[in-house]
Amino acid sequence: MGIRHAVDRLMHVSGPAGKLPGLGARFGTYELLTAFNKDGREDNHVNYSEAMLAGITAGAVEAFVCTPFELLKLRSQVGSAIPMKATNPANVIQESFPLLSKLLPGHVPDMRVWNSSVSLLSNLSPKHPDMMGALKQHPWMLTGSGKPPLPSDVQVPSRVIALEGWGALWRGLRPGVARDCVFSGMFFSCWQFIHTAMLTWQSVNMNPEPRNLEEAGPVPPLASSLAAGFSGVVAAAASHTFDTAKSRSQCTVIPKYIAMERRFLKWRAPGMWIERMTGTSPADRNVLFRGIGLRMARSGIASFVLVGSYYLAVDQLL
């Protein structure tokens, strides 16, 4: 596809609908917590530890709000990169027979596997009045493949909920919480550190010497924007492994029957305790740092533009 087509498709599947609530939750929670910390103080100074704790809390709120939007956005982006499939005989069969519409996307019935399953179950004492009819309501009994569909086939909210359940909308929440907590904590603490350093530098040559940093005057908007951009680069580098783990987790389709079997068998996720806590798969260890340069550049530019546009809007409107 051409560059224009690629840009149009990217803007279509990754619009601001899911990002704006996340940004509002992040900065709104941070401002609320820092205002609570500054209440009763003579100046409006915030310590580095307070900025980090407020950022960690804000990151957790942002992750909970944005996870469903990011799952749908990521699967739409994967689907937009795959060419549209032409109508095949399987689609014609599914349109002709309503029962086959319950099959997993991209699969056709395998009667050999179905007959084998029926012969194995026929030796059991039947306690259900219509066991064969009940088994036909479960599409994976007819496919015989055992493979879940591709994420590009399960990108519509109704299909995600029907195949994977409501809980699938928050798949990748644990790596998402780890990513956003690390990112927000590092971003706000680093930004507060640079902001304090610039105010201290301004107060050195002032006569008389200011009693506190608030009297040193505001930081220039360009300097504050550059500090935010640098903080975004540092935060993106620190949280990139969790971002990769979240993307890999959200691109994995786990049907409801597989999740039910895992609960019955008390399946335990592999890996070390830190990997289980953060939802990172041990199979992804070699790809966790892939694309870190692009994410650092994106986060730095976005933070610089966000803070710069905020100061510009305040200067023009207030």
117: confidence class by pLDDT, cuts 50, 70, 90? low
More confident residue, 283 or 80: 283
Q: Which has the closest alpha carbon to 115: 95, 136, 98? A: 136
Residues 6+ apart with CB under 8 A from 258: 148
My answer on whether 66 and 206 are in the same domain is yes
Is 174 found in the same domain as 254? Answer: yes
Same domain? For 129 and 192 the reply is no
Structural domain containing residue 112: 92-149
pLDDT range class, residue 1, cuts 50, 70, 90 = low
Same domain? For 98 and 212 the reply is no
Confidence class for position 233, pLDDT limits 50, 70, 90:
very high
pLDDT band at 12 (very low <50, low <70, confident <90, very high): low
- Residue 291: the pLDDT is 93
Residue 255 DSSP symbol: -
pLDDT at residue number 107: 54
Let me know whether 276 and 177 are in one domain: yes
Please, are residues 46 and 37 in contact by the beta-carbon 8 Å criterion? yes
Residue 102 and residue 250 in one domain? no
Regarding predicted confidence, which is higher, 251 or 116? 251
Residues 257 and 191 reside in one and the same domain: yes
Count: domains in the chain? 2
51 part of a folded domain: yes
Same domain, 142 and 264: no
Residue-level pLDDT at 229? 95
Tell me: do 122 and 174 sit in the same domain.
Answer: no
Please check whether residues 70 and 214 belong to one and the same domain. yes
pLDDT at residue 145 tops 80 = no
Inter-residue contact 250 to 75 (CB < 8 Å): yes
How much is the average pLDDT of 277-281? 89
pLDDT digits (tens, 9 = 90+) for 37-46: 888 777 778 8
Model confidence at 97: pLDDT above 70: no
State pTM to two decimals.
Answer: 0.76
Q: How confident is the model at residue 93 (pLDDT cuts 50, 70, 90)?
A: very low
Mean pLDDT of 122-139: 63
Q: Between 212 and 118, where is the model more confident?
A: 212
Both 125 and 190 in a single domain? no
In a domain, 158, yes or no: no
Do 214 and 262 reside in the same domain of the chain? yes
In whole numbers, what is the pLDDT of the chain averaged over residues?
Answer: 80
Helices (H), 81-156: 89-96, 111-121, 131-135, 140-143
Task: Return the C-alpha torsion angle 173, 294, 76, 257, nearest 10.
Answer: -40
Domain's final residue, options 104, 122, 149:
149
